[in-house]
Every structure is written in structure tokens, then in C-alpha cells.
Chain A
Amino acid sequence: MSRRSIAYSDSPLLAQRTPLWRSRLILAGLAAVFLGLIARAAYVQVINNDFIMKQGDARMQKTIALEASRGRILDRNGQILAASVPGYGVWIDGADPNDPDLTQVARLLRKDERWVRQFVASRRNKPTAALSRQVSEQVGDQIKALQLAGVQLRREYIRSYPEGEAAGHLVGFTNADNRGQEGVELAFESQLAGQPGTRRVLKDRYGRVIEDVEEVIPPVHGRDVQLSVDSRIQFFAYDRIKAAVQKHEASRGSVVVLDALNGEVLAMANYPSFDANRRSTLRNSVMRNRALTDAFEPGSTVKPLIVGLALEQGLVRANTPIDTAPGYIRLGRWKVSDTHDNGVLTVAEVMEKSSNVGTVKIADKLSAQSMWELYSEVGIGQRPNLAYPGATRGTLHDYQSWRPTRKATMSYGYGLSASLMQLARAYTVFANDGHLAQLSLLKGGGGVGRKPVFSAKTTRELRAMLHLATGDEGTAPRAQTLGYSVGGKTGTAHKLIDGRYAKDRYRGFFVGLAPIEAPRIVVAVLIDDPRGKQYFGGLVAAPVFSETVQQTLRLMGVEPDVNVKPNIHAKGAKEPV
């Protein structure tokens, strides 16, 4: 204590008075600093606050995309033909190409392991890329469980097609982004696809949504499409055409079932087909819906139309005799022949025996213009009014360009072309008192044209002739089916290969109606290039018709119109009428 005996307040320095300006200077300096701070604070927070606001929003606000679901495709009874189910996309974001677990990933994805590792190596230090998309939920969950670094699983939707290959062409498929690529998926894309919405939200630090910041733009979900197709008929028709194509060693086959009264498509199947659930089966060679996209020369199946026209114009009657001897007729350089000499036939018998000579002689009485008009009226050479990708219009040349031989060949189905669907549609005139039905793929979308092509009387006569053709003496007794009367016309056309008619390559057709008195359905069958022993339409295509008619009418609940010896021995059961 004693060493610091001089009191601080006694310091001589303090005795001096400080000048007032110094304290003022300090004060002013401090004031200036605070003013600067206030000004800066005001600038940042009030005047130019965008930056801070943006940074705050970036941390708290998030824009969430609201996914729109794709509509389902349903059959006429509401059964699912296509629906979206949850799945995953597997994305690579800087994963290690030497990760031992990639073996497992490759196995689960059914991909080559070496390829997977190469892919992962090529994506190092690059933006994320999809290793595999449209992966099923099951597989995705297993990959997720591996918890690999740099492998992301993103939720996405995959289309499920329960009917598989039976409805492959009809329903079509989508791509990985759920956009329709083929079939109904493409045709009704605008209706099926939804419009995604967005919402901007405030999230708390746990990532929970605590507030909507802006007005929510709700997603517009895709609408369901209900087709006129019955999945049971579709399957059965496919099953039968598949069996027939395999049995006759044909290259392909198609079948179309129409509701005869309104033109609604009940089934449309082709074989070979594909299963859109298994992408590996999608090959270009099988993807065409040939019942609609491919036109071919319809051969004898157009004969009922020509005979109908002659009846309608009063040029012949059903019992008018036509001399078909000696079984062939010369047209310039050409010779049109029947399978054998039938001698004198009535018009009805010309149909029953499918005589080319007889048909040419009947067509000789008709004008080229009226034949052309008839073919046009039943839709040949015109794009069917079906919202379906790639539907062909077929070919029908202007009658003014027809030479005499062309007119003759046109009468028995050469020189014009149509798809199987167009052919089936043309036959609806025999069902509706001469009215042509409008095609429709949608339930309730069908209808018939206002102006009849034939009179009711003519169609009645034609139906009787078509029935004869499936009789025991006709060309297609194998079209007959238990319980139901049928009628129809066979066709066996030489295939046009490299501009020439191949001698030993054929297409076999059958187009017919059932029950023939009051038709409910039109069934058209095409077997292309049968290489087995049989190739006549009456032998290869008619049995498919018979089985399809039997099952379709049963499923539609149509009562048999032909007496059947019942196998039922129930007490009190009476023979059905």
C-alpha cells in the first residue's frame, strides 16, 4: 500500500481541463456510426429487402408439385384394362462403381452386372441419370433396403395391364413418363392424362408443412375411359385366334367382334401379340394392330355386297339362273375360274358356292359407278371414324379409272383393299335393315347411319343366302355353331407378294353374323399365310368364327334360336323353345 501512496486523483494530468471539442468529436463519431448502422439496417430490411426475403423464403418455403393421376381404361363392365400403380425409378447420383452391392442391384433389375458398373462409372461427377425406370414397387423396396450411397429411388407410376397380351394391341401402352404411345393409351391421351398442380408451402425445421403460402393450384386428374370392349369376349377371341394361327402354322391372325346393332367394338385381337407389362416383349414386328392398320384384298367376302346391289336394282332375283359353265370365264388376258364347274346356279347358289364366274356375270349387269358408290357407302376407302392411331382407309380407286377387267375383279374382291375392321363394319348393313353402323370404341358411342344402303327386303334375302353359305352344301359348314343360326361368307385370297399374286400363299377369311334371323354380332376372322395343309377361309377361319360366336352370344345372354337336344335331365325341365 505504502508504495502506491500517491492518490490517483492527485495526478497532475487530471488537474488539466480537457477541451470540450474532444468529447463532442467522440459523440459525433459514435452518432455517425450508429446512423450508418441504422441506415444500413433500413436499407437492407425496408428499402431493398428482396435479398433477405428471398433467402428466408428459400429456407422456409417450398414449392411442391401435386401429381395428377392418369385415368384408368375400363371395359364395358367396368373391369380394369389399364391402371396406374406405384413404382420406382432408380437414379444414379455419384455412386461408387466398385460398390459390391451393385451386384445385387443388377440382379434385382435383371440387368447385366458389367453394364451396370460401366453405367455407374460413366456417371461419376455428372448430373443424376436414370439407371432403370418403371421398376415395380417390390423390386424398388428391395433396392432401397440395400441403402447404397449415391443410388436414389424416386417414386413414379407404372401402368399395369391385367389382360396382358389378350388386349395388347387394343389397349396399347405408355412410355416411362406415362404418355400414351400406342393403342387406346395414345388415342385417348388427352382424356387419360392429368394436369399436375402446384402448391407453395411454409415448412418448419422438421420439414412439416405448416402453412400454404399462395393459393393451391389443384391437380386435374385424368379421367377414366370406358371402352365398348368386353374383356371376356376379348380374351376368348384372342385365345381362339391364337390357337388357330398356331394350328395352321400361319404368320398371324386377327379377329374383330362388333355389336351388329350399333357398331360398338366388343373385341379386337391380333396374334402374335405382346404383353405391355413386360417391356421386353415389345418388338416392332408385333406392335401393329393389324385389324385396323393393315389393308388387304378382301376376296370373296365382298360378294354379298355385289349380289345385294344387283338385287336392290332389280337386275336379278334370288332364283335367277346364272350359267357358270365351264367353270371359268375369260377377261381379256385373264381367266377367272371356280374351284370346279358348277353348271347353272341360281343367284343364291352363286353365294352358297362362292362362284367367281357367277359373281362376275352378275357384276356385268352393274355399272362401275354404282359399284364404286356401294363400296364407298359401306366405308371402304374411307378412314373409319375411330379415334385410333394408324387406322387405314384402305384403297378404292375412282371408278372412272376402272378398266373392264378391273370392274370384274372388283366384284370378287381383288383390286380394292380394306382392313378387317372395315370389312366387319361393312357387314353391319346386313343386320340393320340395310343401315351401316358407326364404329365406336367407347361404350354408348355407337349408332347407325340414317340412309340405308339396302332395303329391308334385300337384307333379308342376303341373310338367307349367307345362311346357305354356312349350310352343309356351302363353303363354310364349319362356321356352324351349336344353338345359334349363323350366316357369313368365306374368302381365300392369294397374297400379293412383290407386286405379283403368289400361287401358294393365301389369306383365309370369314366374316359373318349371328343369330342370322336377328343378328346381334358381326365377327370377322383373318388368318394370314397359313402354311399347313389347309388354307381355305372355310377351313382355317370359319372354326374361329364358330367358337367366338358361341361364347360371345352366351356371354351376352342371347337365347339359342336353333333347337338343341338338351343334356339336362332336371325334374320338370322342359325342352327349350
Chain B
Amino acid sequence: MIRVNILLVLAVLITAFVLVHTQYQSRRLYATIDKAQGYATELDIEHDSLNAQRRTAATAERVQRVAKEALNMRAPSPADTLYLQPKPLDGGQP
């Protein structure tokens, strides 16, 4: 009877330690995933922010200013535009 009791006590102790260890592991992993999620959010925000910056650097206002002043360009007029008319593939009239 005593032997059975000792075995049971041992079993209880082992499972208790395993439980503690598992809890510890789970919390550690949870902390890791939480940190990773936080990082993902940060990256999302940075992505949006960079997109906004890129847009600011490429607005029509800036493009026009740079094209006119730095590159001496001008907007094309219909006089120097060649309009291509798509023709059907079978060679018939459009």
C-alpha cells in the first residue's frame, strides 16, 4: 500500500512540475508572439507613413515644378501628340 502511495506522490510531483514548466513555456511564447505582433503593427504604421511620404514627394505640384524649372519641360499639346487608333486584330476597319 505504501509503495502505491509513494508512486502516486511521485506522479503528482512530476505532473506538477511539468505543469509549471508548460505554463512557463506558454507564457514565454505568448510574450514572444505579443512582441512580434507589436512589431508588425509598428511596421504597418511605418509602411503607411512611408507611403504618405512617397506621395508627398510625387504630387502633381512637385512634378510640375521640377519638370518646368529643373528639367525645362512643358506639357504636351495635342499638336505634338500622335494619337494611335487601335485596329481590330483581323485587319478590318476599326
Indicate whether A and B interact.
yes
A residues neighboring B (CB under 8 Å): 69, 72, 79-80, 83-86, 137, 160, 162-164, 166, 204, 208-211, 231-232, 234-236, 239, 482-484, 550-551, 554, 559-560, 564-568, 570, 573, 576-577
Q: What A residues does B83 contact at CB under 8 A?
A: 559-560, 576
B68 to chain A, nearest CB (A): 11
Give complex CA distance A559, B94 in Å: 15
Report yes or no: B31 in contact with A564, Cβ–Cβ below 8 A: no
Report yes or no: A209 in contact with B82, Cβ–Cβ below 8 A: no
Report yes or no: B60 in contact with A232, Cβ–Cβ below 8 A: yes
How big is the B interface, by class?
20 to 34
Report yes or no: B52 in contact with A80, Cβ–Cβ below 8 A: yes
- Contact code string B40-84 (vs A, CB < 8 Å = 1, else 0): 000001101101110110011100100000000001111111110
- Nearest residue, chain B, Cβ from A81: B55
Q: What B residues does A160 contact at CB under 8 A?
A: 49, 52-53, 56
Say whether, besides A85-B49, A483-B78, A564-B79, A208 and B59 are in contact (CB < 8 Å). no
Report yes or no: A554 in contact with B76, Cβ–Cβ below 8 A: yes
Does B27 sit at the interface, judged by CB under 8 A? Answer: yes
Q: Find B79's partner among A234, A482, A559 (CB 8 Å cutoff).
A: A482
Q: What A residues does B75 contact at CB under 8 A?
A: 551, 554
Give complex CA distance A573, B85 in Å: 12
Report yes or no: B52 in contact with A86, Cβ–Cβ below 8 A: no
Report yes or no: B52 in contact with A85, Cβ–Cβ below 8 A: yes
A559 to chain B, nearest CB (A): 5
Report yes or no: B48 in contact with A567, Cβ–Cβ below 8 A: no
Give complex CA distance A497, B24 in Å: 80
Q: Find B77's partner among A85, A235, A482, A573 (CB 8 Å cutoff).
A: A482
Say whether, besides A163-B59, A235-B59, A236-B60, A566 and B82 are in contact (CB < 8 Å). yes
Q: Find B82's partner among A239, A483, A551, A568 (CB 8 Å cutoff).
A: A568
Q: What B residues does A570 contact at CB under 8 A?
A: 82
Report yes or no: A560 in contact with B49, Cβ–Cβ below 8 A: no
Does B35 sit at the interface, judged by CB under 8 A? Answer: yes
B residues neighboring A (CB under 8 Å): 27-28, 30-31, 34-35, 45-46, 48-49, 51-53, 55-56, 59-61, 64, 75-83, 85
Q: Is the interface of B mostly helix, strand, loop or mixed?
A: helix
Give complex CA distance A231, B63 in Å: 12
B32 to chain A, nearest CB (A): 9
Report yes or no: A239 in contact with B31, Cβ–Cβ below 8 A: no
B67 to chain A, nearest CB (A): 13
Report yes or no: A162 in contact with B59, Cβ–Cβ below 8 A: yes
Give complex CA distance A568, B81 in Å: 7
Report yes or no: B30 in contact with A209, Cβ–Cβ below 8 A: yes
New A-B pairs, 20, CB < 8 Å, besides A211-B30, A554-B76, A565-B79: A79-B55, A80-B52, A85-B45, A85-B49, A86-B45, A86-B46, A86-B49, A160-B53, A163-B61, A164-B61, A208-B34, A210-B28, A211-B27, A239-B64, A559-B83, A560-B81, A564-B77, A566-B82, A567-B80, A568-B82
Report yes or no: A566 in contact with B79, Cβ–Cβ below 8 A: yes
Report yes or no: B82 in contact with A84, Cβ–Cβ below 8 A: no
Report yes or no: B56 in contact with A162, Cβ–Cβ below 8 A: yes
- The 5 A-B residue pairs whose C-beta atoms are closest, nearest first, are A483-B78, A235-B60, A210-B27, A208-B31, A162-B56
Report yes or no: B35 in contact with A208, Cβ–Cβ below 8 A: yes
B24 to chain A, nearest CB (A): 9
Q: What A residues does B56 contact at CB under 8 A?
A: 160, 162
A93 to chain B, nearest CB (A): 25
Give complex CA distance A13, B60 in Å: 112
Interface centre among B45, B61, B82, by most chain A C-beta atoms within 10 angstroms, is B61
Give complex CA distance A95, B52 in Å: 35
Q: What A residues does B78 contact at CB under 8 A?
A: 482-484, 554, 560, 564
A522 to chain B, nearest CB (A): 20
- Nearest residue, chain B, Cβ from A160: B52
Give complex CA distance A83, B59 in Å: 14
Give complex CA distance A80, B47 in Å: 13
15 A-B pairs with C-beta separation under 8 A: A79-B55, A83-B48, A85-B48, A162-B56, A163-B61, A166-B60, A204-B31, A209-B31, A235-B64, A239-B61, A483-B79, A564-B77, A564-B78, A566-B80, A566-B82
Q: What B residues does A204 contact at CB under 8 A?
A: 27, 31
Report yes or no: B48 in contact with A166, Cβ–Cβ below 8 A: no
Q: What A residues does B76 contact at CB under 8 A?
A: 554
A183 to chain B, nearest CB (A): 18
Give complex CA distance A239, B85 in Å: 32
Q: What B residues does A239 contact at CB under 8 A?
A: 61, 64
- Nearest residue, chain B, Cβ from A137: B49
Give complex CA distance A85, B53 in Å: 9
Give complex CA distance A577, B77 in Å: 16
- Nearest residue, chain B, Cβ from A566: B79
Q: What B residues does A482 contact at CB under 8 A?
A: 77-79
Give complex CA distance A83, B30 in Å: 32
Report yes or no: A84 in contact with B34, Cβ–Cβ below 8 A: no
Report yes or no: A231 in contact with B49, Cβ–Cβ below 8 A: no
Interface centre among A209, A484, A559, A568, by most chain B C-beta atoms within 10 angstroms, is A209
- Nearest residue, chain A, Cβ from B78: A483
Q: What A residues does B27 contact at CB under 8 A?
A: 204, 210-211
